[in-house]
Amino acid sequence: MLSEQMQKALNGQLNAEYYSSYLYLSMAAYFESTNLPGMATWMRIQAQEEEMHAMKFFDFICDRGGRVTLAQIDAPGTEWESPLAVFQAAYAHEQKVTGLINSLVKMARDEGDAATDVFLQWFVTEQIEEEKSADEVVQKLTRIKDAPHLLLMMDNELGARQAGGEQAADAA
């Protein structure tokens, strides 16, 4: 059984994962509007993965006899200065999510809630990949930002990302 405090915190993280999905979908819309379909595909897949993360919290709360309560999802930003600014924002967002997951782990340990601690370890590992993939794109875009033809090449490569596959920056 989940404590009240833990149930509330896990519901909060469920909401945060849906916000992440919304944020990446908004970034996909930005890339569609700026004729970078490959980056839009990368962000669409990222948005789908965040929904999967949210549903992991949904299922875990239910499995532990808790109650899922859905709350309003904040509106994400809609405009960015450049593709680099988008991926910098994505990287910063993932760092923030890592902090949220770490706080949940601390709460689980403080409560002696071993089951939640174990559940959260999947997210601890996932956040390493989430930060790495966004940061890799930031590094590459930083290097090529003044070369439009390289930007288009990178758009093609990011568009090769497959749903459920390895992160894209590996292909970029």
DSSP per-residue string spanning 96-119: HHHHHHHHHHHHHHHHT-HHHHHH
Site map 9..48 versus ligand FEO, x via CB under 6 A: --------x--x----------------------------
Least distance in angstroms from the C-beta of 168 to ligand FEO: 13
Q: Quote the CA–CA distance of 49 and 17 in Å, as a whole number.
A: 9
Long-range contacts from 7-11, C-beta under 8 angstroms, 24+ separation: 7/61, 7/66, 7/67, 9/103, 9/104, 9/107, 10/57, 10/60, 10/61, 10/66, 10/104, 10/116, 11/57, 11/61, 11/68, 11/69, 11/71
Least distance in angstroms from the C-beta of 152 to ligand FEO: 26
Among residues 20 and 26, whose Cβ is nearest to ligand FEO? 20
Q: Which residue is nearest to ligand FEO (CB)?
A: 53
Least distance in angstroms from the C-beta of 20 to ligand FEO: 5
Among residues 108 and 134, whose Cβ is nearest to ligand FEO? 134
Amino acid at site 73: I
- Give the footprint of ligand FEO on residues 53-82 (CB under 6 A): 53
Token reading at 159: 């568009």
97 near ligand FEO, rule: CB under 6 A? yes
Q: Quote the CA–CA distance of 132 and 135 in Å, as a whole number.
A: 5
Least distance in angstroms from the C-beta of 68 to ligand FEO: 17
- Give the footprint of ligand FEO on residues 111-130 (CB under 6 A): 130
131 near ligand FEO, rule: CB under 6 A? no
- Give the residues lining the site for ligand FEO (CB under 6 A): 17, 20, 50, 53, 94, 97, 130
